[in-house]
Amino acid sequence: MNAYVEKVYNGLVERNGHEKEFLQAVREVLEALSPVFDKHPEYENKGLLERFVEPDRAILFRVPWVDDNGKVQVNRGYRVQYNNAIGPYKGGLRLHPSVNLSVIKFLGFEQVLKNSLTSLPIGGGKGGSDFDPKGKSDNEVMRFCQSFMTELFKYIGADEDVPAGDIGVGAREIGFLYGQYKRITGLYEGVLTGKGLSYGGSLARKEATGFGLCYLTNAMLRKHGQSFEGKRVVVSGSGNVAIYAAQKATELGGKVVAMSDSNGYIVDENGVNLDVIKQIKEVERGRIKEYAARVPGAVYTEGFRGIWTVKCDIALPCATQNELNEEGAQALIANGVFAVAEGANMPTTYEATLALQKAGVLFAPGKAANAGGVATSALEMSQNSQRLSWTFQEVDQKLKGIMENIFANIDAAAKEYGQEDNYVVGANIAGFLKVADAMLAHGCV
């Protein structure tokens, strides 16, 4: 590693030693960026890397709300505004019991580079809470969202910071959050994305992350003389990203044979029936286990990590961070996988990524492969600013163009730095250069 890069990383370890997800994300990025700093020794005097790894600010707040039994519950809320060199802070809100500052910082850090890759003017941020929406009534979720926004509204705005969904935050939560923002501020503005279609949402935003993942994967496969046609595909997770990744993979000719949730996975050799998955997950908010009870021939197995033992050509991890470890990677390799593309953020551990790359598996990192969601969020912001809305086809076409452009850029950056086909290196370098350029232009801020 470049000496300056190593010094900055070591300083970060000293100050944030307990933030393991954050350090994991930073380490991967800095390994990839090392050659950029070899080429640009002048960056050190500008303190560019010290500024890049430190968020602009991290806001922590109490979120009190009353449950259905009349008892007061308290959760912790977060918004990390990481970097706004190229546009207003932009990134999702995650509601999951595993949320802590390390998780939100890793997501915010990744978001800066991802948003840069979209080529649209959006900076990076992330937020959320350790609130668990599972098992809560609609009214409880509403009261939580209203309390969360009652604090958050002070720090966000259509030209300042624009949150959206992530794990545990979908149309229902965005609706409650938007309602409360409007009520407190009196503003009707594009302060959130992923909104409902009746109040400023964009067509194709719901589908965008999953569709975008397959568009980028397809571009990568094409470069290597391959396609989805006739391929066995495994998609982990069964939430927003997973469902629409599975739908697009199927439309492109693949056969999705397995999906999962945090309890276990189902295998359906006939190809997963997405109408059944949508009914269970989007309508009933149920468990994937139900699928096996409803679809003849489908088999359910407890434990979400087992999904990587299902034989496939293409694996799309779309659930959560570190869901695919080295053991999972070795199982995929042994079964002949030839492409892995990350729909989730950092689903593949560092060791698993290295194992896949070493085995010659094509690997598309999340910050490039799942950028279609936030890119379409930026298209939603454009539509809100213009006070008009585009058709599904218009948005989908733009999304496809953006994802193909991302692939071309990360491919070119990898080549330029002598690491052709290493898309981890390509994505980190291509994403970083634009942000670095803007930060240098802005002076010491």
* 92 near ligand 2IT, rule: CB under 6 A: yes
Q: How many residues bind ligand 2IT (CB under 6 A)?
A: 12
Min dist CB 188 to ligand NDP, Å, is: 23
Helix (H) or strand (E) holding 443: none
DSSP state of 157: B
CB of 302 to ligand NDP, least distance (A): 12
Judged by CB under 6 A, which of 28, 54, 140, 166 binds ligand 2IT? 166
Q: Which of 8, 178, 51 shows the shortest CA–CA distance to 445?
A: 51
**Phi, psi at 157, each rounded to 5°:** 175, 160
Which residues 6+ apart lie within 8 Å of 294 measured at CB?
276, 280
**How far from chain centre, in Å, is Cα 83?**
17
Q: Which is nearer to ligand 2IT, 4 or 153 (CB)?
A: 153
- Is residue 193 near ligand 2IT by the rule CB under 6 A? yes
CB atoms within 10 A of CB 392: 11
- Cβ neighbours of residue 341 closer than 8 Å, sequence gap 6 or more: 213, 216, 217, 220, 314, 315, 316, 363, 364, 369
- AA identity, residue 147: S
Which of ligand 2IT, ligand NDP, none interacts with 91 (beta carbon under 5 to 8 A by kind)?
Answer: ligand 2IT
Q: Pick from 88, 170, 373, 431 the residue near ligand 2IT by CB under 6 A.
A: 373
Contacts with ligand NDP by CB under 6 A lie at 165-168, 209, 237-242, 261-263, 304, 318-320, 323, 343-345, 370, 373
Shorter beta-carbon distance to ligand 2IT: residue 335 or 389:
389
Residues 251-290 that bind ligand 2IT (CB under 6 A): none
**For residues 216, 220, 222 and 224, what is the CA-based torsion angle, rounded to 10 degrees?**
-170
Q: Does 118 bind ligand 2IT (CB under 6 A)?
A: no
Residue nearest to ligand 2IT (CB): 92
Pick the closer one to ligand NDP by CB: 120 or 241: 241
114 is catalytic: no
90 makes contact, choosing from ligand NDP, ligand 2IT, none, with CB < 5 to 8 Å by partner type, with ligand 2IT
What DSSP element (H or E) covers 241?
helix 240-251
Tell me if 90 contacts ligand 2IT by CB under 6 A: yes
* In the complex, minimum distance from the CB of residue 28 to ligand 2IT, in angstroms, rounded to a whole number: 16
Minimum CB distance to ligand 2IT, residue 121 (Å): 13
Contacts of 201 (CB under 8 A, 6+ apart): 193, 194, 195, 380
Provide, rounded to whole angstroms, the least separation between the CB of residue 165 and ligand NDP: 5
Judge residue 405's burial from the number of C-beta atoms within 10 Å of its C-beta, 0-12 exposed, 13-18 middle, 19 or more buried.
Answer: middle
**Given 34, 146, 238, 345, the residue binding ligand 2IT (CB under 6 A):** 345
In this structure, the strands spanning 339-341 and 232-236 are: unpaired
Stretch that binds ligand 2IT, among 268-276, 329-337, 372-380, 429-437 (CB under 6 A): 372-380
Catalytic residue among 90, 105, 114, 126: 126
Q: From the list ligand 2IT, ligand NDP, none, which binds 193 (C-beta under 5 to 8 Å, kind-based)?
A: ligand 2IT
Give DSSP secondary structure letters for 254-308.
-EEEEEE-SSEEEE-TT---HHHHHIIIIIS---THHHHHHSTT-EEEE-GGGGG
Are 176 and 169 a contacting pair, CB within 8 Å?
no
Q: Which residues are catalytic?
A: 126
Residues contributing to the site for ligand 2IT (CB under 6 A): 90-92, 111, 114, 164, 166, 193, 345, 373-374, 377
